[in-house]
Amino acid sequence: MPKKIDLSEQVEDYLRYSQVERGLSNNTITAYRQDLTSFISFLQQENFTSWPTQALDIDAFLAEQRDQNKATSSISRLITSLRKFYQWLVRQNIQKLNPMLEIDSPKKRHTLPVALTINEVNKLLQQPDTKKKLGLRDRALLETLYATGIRVSELINLKFTDLHEELKLVKIFGKGSKERLIPISAVALSWIDSYKEKVRDPLILKIGRNNDFIFLNSRGGSLTRQAVWQIIKHYCKLAGIQKNVTPHTLRHTFATHLLENGADLRVVQEILGHSDISTTQIYTNLSQKHILQVYEKTHPRT
């Protein structure tokens, strides 16, 4: 059995090298330590035992940081810290692959979040093969994300006790352990019920060990954020969707489609669990863009 790698120990080796060999300041070393410690925390949470070699995994970490409302400058610093660290790992022959070569620094200018069209959403939802066990689970998972606009962290922690099917409501525990009650569509509930009956309950019976969470992996364990990322990327590729789609993209899409169809901004704020309405207002820009496109397409004098 290979020896378990101590990630923290390798970080300390790198920081010693940076201070002694490169002569970096104490402030820079402190910043690097803070960034790499955050990265290790994410890896431990996702059950990594070694440094990731795929850009997808780095993207998942950076997306989590953005979801915590980290500033663009902080994300840029994180990327710089990881880029320097991975260069060192490769030079030390600790890593052969450097996923940071595929990671771009965030643009300084403000960009609107990516959202899917209704047609793209329909294509995405139709990709899982629901005749297969994991396909049925994935359809229920995608339907739930689009029906509720919940964060990926909220999705993987969702329990059956949180569902109130007769009221078509679901209880969500969001950031800071804040609780909110939000609507869920009858369509999503139907797919969850089908998944529970045909896949989840037989799996639990087979392994003889219960798990309170709704969405499980093939071994009956809880899904990770990374797994949800990979599921979405896989089906987007099958659907031929060229946009950079993440679990958060479905959250953006959910909010955009509600506003485009006349939802009140305050209602969307409550559903998304934003404490400040200014966070929700970015979606009005997306909605206004849609209105302009419709106007230009349909007005006879444009």
219 flagged as catalytic = no
- Rounded to the nearest angstrom, the gap between the alpha carbon of residue 261 and the centroid of all alpha carbons in its chain is 25
Q: How far apart are CA 71 and CA 66, in angstroms?
A: 7
Nearest to 26 by CA among 16, 11, 36: 16
Tokens of 89: 């790992």
- Marked catalytic residue, from 168, 171, 274, 289: 274
- Marked catalytic residue, from 133, 168, 171, 175: 175
Radius of gyration of the chain (CA): 21
Q: How far apart are CA 227 and CA 57, in angstroms?
A: 10
- Marked catalytic residue, from 137, 225, 248, 252: 248
Decide: 81 and 37 in contact? Cβ < 8 Å.
Answer: no
User: For 144-231, where are the E strands, in sequence order?
Assistant: 163-164, 169-173, 179-183
- Marked catalytic residue, from 225, 251, 252, 257: 251
Q: How far apart are CA 160 and CA 197, in angstroms?
A: 13
290 flagged as catalytic = no
DSSP-assigned letter for residue 175: G
Interaxial angle between packed helices 265-272 and 247-260, expressed in degrees from 0 to 180 and rounded to the nearest 10 = 160
86 flagged as catalytic = no
Q: How far apart are CA 261 and CA 248, in angstroms?
A: 20
- Marked catalytic residue, from 14, 195, 235, 283: 283
The residues, ordered by sequence, that sit 6+ positions from 107 with a Cβ below 8 Å of its Cβ are none
- Marked catalytic residue, from 84, 151, 200, 225: 151
274 flagged as catalytic = yes
Residues composing the chain:
302
Side-chain half-sphere CA neighbours of 267 within 13 A: 11
Decide: 47 and 93 in contact? Cβ < 8 Å.
Answer: no
283 flagged as catalytic = yes
251 flagged as catalytic = yes
Query: Which residues form the catalytic set?
Result: 151, 175, 248, 251, 274, 283
